Amino acid sequence: MTRQIRYQDAIREAQAQILAADPRTYIIGLGAPGPTGIFGTTKDLQREFGVDRVFDMPSSENAMTGVALGTSLLGRRPIVVHMRVDFALLSMEPLVNQIAKWHYMYGGHMVAPLTIRMIIGRGWGQGPQHSQSLQAWLAHVPGLKVVMPTTAHDVKGMLIAAVADDAPVIVMEHRWLYGVTGVVPEEMYEVPLDQAAVVRSGKDVTLAATSYMTLESLRAADMLSQIGVEADVIDLRSLTPIDLPTLSASIARTGRIVVSDTGHSLFGVCAEVLALVAESCFSQLKSAPGRVGLPHAPTPTSPALADLYYPRALDIARAAAEMLGAAHRLPPEILGEHKWKDTPDPSFTGPY
């Protein structure tokens, strides 16, 4: 029988197996041993593995990250959890100035093998300080690997691969994915940290996306199929590096690309992907590429502003259809979708 579990359960299972398999590993994070266990991802792990392996921490992100760096230099392999990427900003000094550069500063003779989970995502009016998607910031820093798994299968395999890697790895998790189920093997396995995945095949346009926007791209592909447009959908999964060979192969088939990301369009992942495409695949493009992301403004709280702020599947479908001169063929019932764009994906049920 093929087992299906939720994204959040896949994360918990990965960490439990990592802790059981390698005594050098431990988990540290605000609320890690708490009653909800950071959206269920660390629930009861302290009870199972003890207070020496699963730590709670007060709001001291900078100190926590520094402690994790120190222990990694002594041979441990910590998993640091920031339940909001916004909170992780307090740890930028040890992360950017120390952890990312350690391997290079010491000529490869020392490594800092940290895995840092950061949760992104919006919903229910989380507002400008609790719902940012700052993956482009982190991917800009040489020495950090940044991955954004979309499926339950990938988040387990990439988390295990991250802990096994000698480089510091940032695992960005969109909280709207936590309730999404998928096929996940019970045993330990690794998913490569440097490869994109083609999750739907088509010949007319490439829809490349990160994290939760991959689900929106699949929905956009369904919309496009209603007007006879077949989309290639690529889950980028890794930002450092971006899997250019997979992108190039797709563009060779379609000649068109729309990139969507959970972050801001300007100076972000969309911009970087399109720059790589322009440098490497320009002669294969049949039309100007497009991007779908957040506007250059802080995340809003109110429903009225959220409706103007957040892109979803329709925006991706419309961008692709306009490239093909087919936007007018999108059915009226599709154009009327969604009432409040800050309402979580139906698969997400909380806790908040």
Burial class (CB in 10 A: 0-12, 13-18, 19+), 204: buried
- pLDDT of amino acid 80: 97
Both tokens of 227, joined, read 């007007």
Known catalytic membership, residue 174: no
pLDDT one-digit tens code per residue, 279-327: 999 999 999 999 999 999 999 988 888 888 999 999 999 999 999 999 8
Answer for the pair 341, 307: CB distance below 8 angstroms, yes or no.
yes
pLDDT one-digit tens code per residue, 216-233: 999 999 999 999 999 999
Q: How far apart are CA 233 and CA 221, in angstroms?
A: 8
Ordered by where they begin, the domains of the chain are 2-185 (3.40.50.970), 197-327 (3.40.50.920)
Both tokens of 269, joined, read 């992942």
- pLDDT of amino acid 218: 97
DSSP string, 314-327: HHHHHHHHHHTT-G
- pLDDT at residue 337 greater than cutoff 70: no
- pLDDT at residue 336 greater than cutoff 70: no
Which residue among the candidates 103, 130, 174, 264 is catalytic per the annotation? 130
Angle at 176 between CA 312 and CA 157, to 5 degrees: 115
- pLDDT at residue 332 greater than cutoff 80: no
- pLDDT of amino acid 126: 82
- pLDDT of amino acid 123: 80
Give the confidence band of 335 by pLDDT, cuts at 50, 70, 90: low
Q: How far apart are CA 89 and CA 194, in angstroms?
A: 25
pLDDT one-digit tens code per residue, 94-117: 999 999 999 999 998 999 999 999
Closest CA to 83 of 118, 110, 36: 118
User: What is the CB neighbour count within 10 angstroms for residue 333?
Assistant: 8
Which residue among the candidates 13, 61, 173, 272 is catalytic per the annotation? 61
- pLDDT of amino acid 345: 80
More confident residue, 45 or 351: 45
User: What is the CB neighbour count within 10 angstroms for residue 238?
Assistant: 23
- pLDDT of amino acid 344: 77
User: What is the CB neighbour count within 10 angstroms for residue 283?
Assistant: 5
Known catalytic membership, residue 130: yes
- pLDDT of amino acid 287: 97
- pLDDT of amino acid 306: 87
Which stretch of 19-23, 121-125, 210-214 has the lowest confidence by average pLDDT? 121-125
